[in-house]
Amino acid sequence: MLSLGKLLELTLAGREPADKTQVTVEGVRLRWLGEGALEVRPPEALDNGLDLLLSAGIHGNETAPIELLDALIADIAGGTLRPRARVLFLFGNPPAIRRGERYLEQDINRLFNGRHAAASGAEALRAAELEQFARVFFSLPGRTRLHYDLHTAIRGSKIEQFALYPFKAGRRHSRRELARLEAAGVEAVLLQRKPSTTFSAFTYEQLEAEAFTLELGKARPFGHNGQVSLDRLRQRLWQLIEGCEPPLDAELQSLQLFGVAREIIKHSEHFRLHLPDDIENFAELAHGYLLAEDLAQTRWVVEEQDARIIFPNPHVKNGLRAGLLIVPEAGEGLE
């Protein structure tokens, strides 16, 4: 296997490879672009026109997707996976990955779409660098652009594998892309209705890629992800990379769709989220339930039918989202 197939090993050690470019026997070119960044190019005659960005480790303790990308890179470097697509692999926050922590100073996934310019520190610089890696990778005209940003959640979830589909005014969500997620084992998709500061939102809004944040189970340390089954996702990524994806069923028979009803914003240190510490994502909330309180008699009461909560976190910084109140959607606006 080519040494660039050990991108994770290099990243964990904080080392640069001796050879920045290597070529497999089949003519696939691997190029190290910087820490945690590897570009893969198929032979020109076999290139099918897909540019696929796969990122993981934006939060350093979310190891299952990091291990998944590591396995795909090793398969490419070993010659068993033969790309027909261009692929960019990114490990998002190497210092946090090395320490097994979500982040060191600030959440990188709140720093995209220009938010890093108003921040400081190493993680703001890394967000800018990740944007530049993506911008250059998606700069070739006339190609299909797809980005999966792979995560695991802080807490358990009643729906284990789900995705967030970013929003851009005037652009409709794609039924075909939802069918691809369904085939990859994703059980639910949250269709967002306002701009965001996540990595997938940046590539979707600014670079015209189809882009998703994928939540793939609960965050665990390296080597402890046996309970997270990513077989269907791995198979679909393999097919995308090799250019052998089977036809998609656009009926979306088993995929659940949700929309954001309201964001719960923490305004002060007086904020109180009235939920158990161990509540799971997609937990149902009763109509009339007092969900949260803050200063100036600010109250969030559940008014929506069939409401659920995802990403509840009362410990975020003031001004940030402490949870999302979501409701089922019919998907009437899909393209």
The b/e string for 37-64 (b: 16+ C-beta within 10 A; e otherwise) is bbbbbbeeeebeebbbbbbbbbbbbbbb
Same fold, 3-242 and 261-328: no
How many C-beta atoms surround the C-beta of residue 220 within 10 A?
16
* Residue 121: predicted pLDDT: 95
* Residue 35: predicted pLDDT: 97
* Residue 296: predicted pLDDT: 85
Please confirm, yes or no, whether 215 is among the known catalytic residues.
yes
* Residue 229: predicted pLDDT: 80
Mean pLDDT of 22-50: 97
- Catalytic: which of 123, 215, 242, 284? 215
Beta strands 144-153 and 290-294: pairing type?
unpaired
Decide: 136 and 163 in contact? Cβ < 8 Å: no
* Residue 123: predicted pLDDT: 97
Decide if pLDDT at 325 tops 90. Answer: yes
50 DSSP β-pair partners: 144
Average confidence score pLDDT of the chain:
94
* Residue 224: predicted pLDDT: 59
Distance of alpha carbon 28 from alpha carbon 195, whole angstroms:
37
Amino acid at 297: Q
What residues contact 161, with CB distance under 8 A and at least 6 apart? 185, 186, 187, 214, 215, 216, 217, 233
Decide if pLDDT at 303 tops 90. Answer: yes
Q: How much of the chain is helix, strand and coil, in % rounded to 5?
A: 25, 25, 45
Locate 137 and state its tokens: 């990778």
- How many angstroms from the chain centroid is the CA of residue 317? 21
Distance of alpha carbon 249 from alpha carbon 252, whole angstroms:
7
Q: At the topology level of CATH, where does 3-242 sit? A: Aminopeptidase (3.40.630)
129-161 pLDDT, tens digit per residue, is 999 999 999 999 999 999 999 999 888 899 999
> Which single residue is written with the structure tokens 């089977």?
246
* Residue 116: predicted pLDDT: 96
User: Which percentage of the chain shows pLDDT scores above 70?
Assistant: 98
Q: Break the chain into its structural domains and give their ranges.
A: 3-242, 261-328
Distance of alpha carbon 275 from alpha carbon 302, whole angstroms:
13
Decide if pLDDT at 331 tops 90. Answer: no
> Which single residue is written with the structure tokens 């189809």?
210
CA atoms within 13 A of residue 228's CA, in its CB half-sphere:
30
* Residue 317: predicted pLDDT: 86
* Residue 122: predicted pLDDT: 95
Decide: 34 and 52 in contact? Cβ < 8 Å: no
CATH of domain 261-328: 2.40.50.630
Locate 92 and state its tokens: 């998002």
82-96 pLDDT, tens digit per residue, is 999 999 999 999 999
Distance of alpha carbon 294 from alpha carbon 264, whole angstroms:
10
66-81 pLDDT, tens digit per residue, is 999 999 999 999 999 9
* Residue 225: predicted pLDDT: 65
pTM for the full predicted model: 0.94
Mean pLDDT of 315-335: 90
How many C-beta atoms surround the C-beta of residue 159 within 10 A?
16
* Residue 297: predicted pLDDT: 87
Distance of alpha carbon 51 from alpha carbon 298, whole angstroms:
46
* Residue 226: predicted pLDDT: 65
206-258 pLDDT, tens digit per residue, is 999 999 999 998 777 766 566 678 999 999 999 999 999 999 988 898 999 99
Decide: 98 and 136 in contact? Cβ < 8 Å: no
